[in-house]
Chains A and B, each alone.
Chain A
Amino acid sequence: MNQERMSITIWFLCGVILTVYGLAVTISGYLNFSNPPPVKMAYLHLDFWWGLVLLAVGGIFIIHQWPAKVKRRMME
């Protein structure tokens, strides 16, 4: 497999999906602040905080595995 040319790494892809989902869940959680869903422990606003966690983890993966950076590391 010609992985030398594969500058989009698996970790970058994980970062993308975690960031997108983190964003979606955080926004949804923010909107639910005023109208909490009818579930147990809704007062904890789990969706908002968990969305932020996913966003942070995804962001770290994306920054660390940004394709240009990976390409540069490959060249070195």
Chain B
Amino acid sequence: MFQLHAVDLFIIVFYFVFVLGVGFYLKHFTRSGEDFFMAGRSQTAWVAGLSFIAANMGALELMGWSSATYQYGMLSVHWYWIGAIPAILFLAIFMMPFYHVSRTHSVPGYLHLRFGEGPRGLAAVTFVVMTVLASGINMYAMGLVLEDFFGWDFDTSIWITALTVAAYVTMAGLTSAIFNEVVQFFMIWAGCLIIPILGLIEVGGWRKLVEMVAQRSAEITASGQPVLDRIHIWSTMASPEQNPMGMHWLGIVFGLCFVLSMGYWTTDYLVVQRILAAKDIRAAKTAPIIGSFFKMAIPFIVILPGLIGFALIPGLQPESPDISATQTYNAVLPLMMKRYFGPGMIGLGLIALIAGFMSGMAGNVSAFATVWTYDIYRSYIHKSASDRHYLNHGRWSTIIGVLISIATTYIVKQFASIMDYMQALFSFFIAPLFATVLLGMFWKRATPAAGFWGLFLGMCTSVGIFLGVRFGWVDPSLIAFSESPSTMAVNMWQAAWAFSVNFAATVLISYFTTPKPLEELKGLVYGVSAMPHEGPSPWYRRPVLWAWLSFIIFLTLNIIFW
């Protein structure tokens, strides 16, 4: 267990006072629904871009992926590179113009404009459920860390952190969430950057680390079994039996890159909301591109510590009721901090973790408040109230969202791994939603009826496969095309199936139902809308140029670690 000193306590207390102070300061500038829910649509590309990435850096990023790296090796980096960069760039260049020009306040809002009430209602309700569950995961992970490593009471730490997030988001809504997310982004780097640097120094550099990882892999492999490579990210993917994740390259390319990642980065309102707050079309296109560069760099503070932990801290195991949380894969990042951090640095490391949890939670809560207020409350419950009324309702729904999230924290305890559960959750709703948005935005023939039924059938497929595998009704090897697929592989194929069913159903039903007139699709669909241009600018400020640069770096990284 960590021992906290006066300087660590100062760092922790100052942080909580600081984020509340930011919320209090911004409250004076929050006077309308547009201010509260959309941050006044006035954020610069850098602010929106950093917030876009920070909102994604919750428990999932920091502890979950270090844990996954300990378990599966460098393959986890796919979730940062091919599982993020193409989707982020696609969002920036092809989708943001339509989100921005339609002036929609949310992704369900876009579905309303494109398909009508049905898909909007379905997407809004499922999103609201997903955000509170995701928020519950965040809190569960945070409560465990604070309890196991710092000896803090689980319930007390959850309540203090959750109420702090509730307070600052309630005061100034999305603006407050975005401002604090940018601060949290810096805190995460300040607290985590040193770990891989010291780790590499301790093991003697990258080459030595590769040797140590190979040696450790051999040690944990049962006699007679082949030793699996944990360093290369593509060359071991020709067959699921050749890598620790039990994954085929097709699953990564189609399931992760094309379905899960595209679905998450382009239609999950938690992240898209940050970009919708951009001040103009140029900022809206540039923000995700800025985010993509940082996303590619995050493995340095998340994946590398997991790999170094695998080499230096043997014996961590999967989660189980029989062992302490400090002996599980999820403990690898805190254990690395404990290994290197003395007084002061411990406080900084702890704040990095808390900041990660809080930014994820604030992202979920602010997105929840917007979708609930605009897409459910204003659309179905109270249609014609004043802007002031919706502003107040947004504040109340923020508090209620946090309370529901606290209640859902305990659901997470039923699942074997935080990461696998998160993937399952995404694929329930995000994968089929992506098919609907994709066809809606790029195919003018897609009809409102097809939009609804395709989405509904896709979601049923996802939930059906999840329940089927969990209760043993379906053989997972049939779903994932592998003899012994990991839970993560099954989740990814589950997403791919849900997407495919939605896609096929939407196309099929569209040919038997009536499409919307072309006049109603202007500004919403490619081919019938003039692409909004970001205005004249020097060549070095053009988003497309930076998108290409990001893509080239992405390709280079994949080749280096092939």
Contacts of A37 in B (CB 8 A): 342-343
**Contact residues of A: prevailing secondary structure:** helix
- Pair B342/A39 contact, Cβ less than 8 Å: yes
**Is residue B442 within 8 Å, beta carbon to beta carbon, of the partner chain?**
no
Residue A28 contacts which of B22, B186, B343 (CB distance < 8 angstroms)?
Answer: B343
Give complex CA distance A1, B40 in Å.
4
Give complex CA distance A10, B178 in Å.
9
Interface string of B27-53 (1 = CB under 8 A from A): 001110011000110100001000000
**Is residue B25 within 8 Å, beta carbon to beta carbon, of the partner chain?**
yes
- Pair B11/A21 contact, Cβ less than 8 Å: yes
Contacts of A1 in B (CB 8 A): 29-30, 34-35, 39-40, 42, 175
- Pair B341/A39 contact, Cβ less than 8 Å: yes
Interface string of B1-29 (1 = CB under 8 A from A): 00001010011001100100010010001
- Pair B345/A46 contact, Cβ less than 8 Å: yes
- Pair B25/A8 contact, Cβ less than 8 Å: yes
**Is residue A24 within 8 Å, beta carbon to beta carbon, of the partner chain?**
yes
Identify the closest chain B residue to A48 (Cβ): B344
Instruction: Determine the interface band of chain A, counting residues with CB < 8 A from chain B.
Output: 20 to 34
**Contact residues of B: prevailing secondary structure:** helix
- Pair B29/A41 contact, Cβ less than 8 Å: no
Give complex CA distance A24, B503 in Å.
55
Contacts of B369 in A (CB 8 A): none
Contacts of A54 in B (CB 8 A): 190
Identify the closest chain B residue to A61 (Cβ): B186
Query: Which of B55-63, B98-106, B159-167, B194-202 interfaces with chain A?
Result: B194-202
- Pair A25/B25 contact, Cβ less than 8 Å: no
Residue B187 contacts which of A3, A16, A17, A25 (CB distance < 8 angstroms)?
Answer: A17
**Is residue B348 within 8 Å, beta carbon to beta carbon, of the partner chain?**
yes
- Pair B344/A29 contact, Cβ less than 8 Å: yes
Give complex CA distance A27, B11 in Å.
13
- Pair B348/A40 contact, Cβ less than 8 Å: no
- Pair A46/B42 contact, Cβ less than 8 Å: no
Contacts of B194 in A (CB 8 A): 46, 50
- Pair A40/B340 contact, Cβ less than 8 Å: yes
- Pair A32/B342 contact, Cβ less than 8 Å: yes
Give complex CA distance A42, B338 in Å.
12
Interface string of A1-12 (1 = CB under 8 A from B): 111011010100
Given A10-B179, A20-B14, A46-B345; A2-B186 close (CB under 8 Å): no
Give complex CA distance A1, B26 in Å.
10
- Pair A24/B198 contact, Cβ less than 8 Å: no
> Quick one: which of B35, B42, B342, B345 has the most chain A CB within 10 A?
B342
Contacts of A16 in B (CB 8 A): 18
Given A1-B175, A10-B179, A32-B342; A18-B29 close (CB under 8 Å): no
Identify the closest chain A residue to B36 (Cβ): A1
Contacts of B34 in A (CB 8 A): 1
CB distance from B196 to the nearest CB of A (A): 13
- Pair A13/B40 contact, Cβ less than 8 Å: no
Contacts of B30 in A (CB 8 A): 1
- Pair B198/A44 contact, Cβ less than 8 Å: yes
Identify the closest chain A residue to B25 (Cβ): A8
> Quick one: which of B30, B178, B190 has the most chain A CB within 10 A?
B190
- Pair A25/B183 contact, Cβ less than 8 Å: no
Contacts of B35 in A (CB 8 A): 1
Given A14-B183, A40-B202; A50-B345 close (CB under 8 Å): yes
- Pair A47/B343 contact, Cβ less than 8 Å: yes
- Pair A40/B31 contact, Cβ less than 8 Å: no
- Pair B344/A10 contact, Cβ less than 8 Å: no
**Is residue A51 within 8 Å, beta carbon to beta carbon, of the partner chain?**
yes
Give complex CA distance A47, B343 in Å.
8
- Pair A3/B25 contact, Cβ less than 8 Å: no
Q: Which residues of B contact A (CB under 8 A)?
A: 5, 7, 10-11, 14-15, 18, 22, 25, 29-31, 34-35, 39-40, 42, 47, 175, 178-179, 182-183, 186-187, 190, 194, 198, 201-202, 338-345, 347-348, 351
9 residue pairs from A and B, CB less than 8 Å apart = A1-B35, A2-B29, A10-B179, A13-B22, A21-B11, A29-B344, A37-B342, A40-B202, A47-B344
* Known contacts A14-B186, A46-B340, then 20 further A-B pairs from the complex at CB < 8 Å, ordered by chain A residue: A1-B34, A1-B40, A1-B175, A2-B31, A3-B42, A8-B25, A13-B183, A17-B15, A21-B190, A21-B348, A24-B347, A25-B348, A28-B5, A32-B343, A37-B342, A39-B338, A40-B198, A40-B339, A41-B340, A47-B342
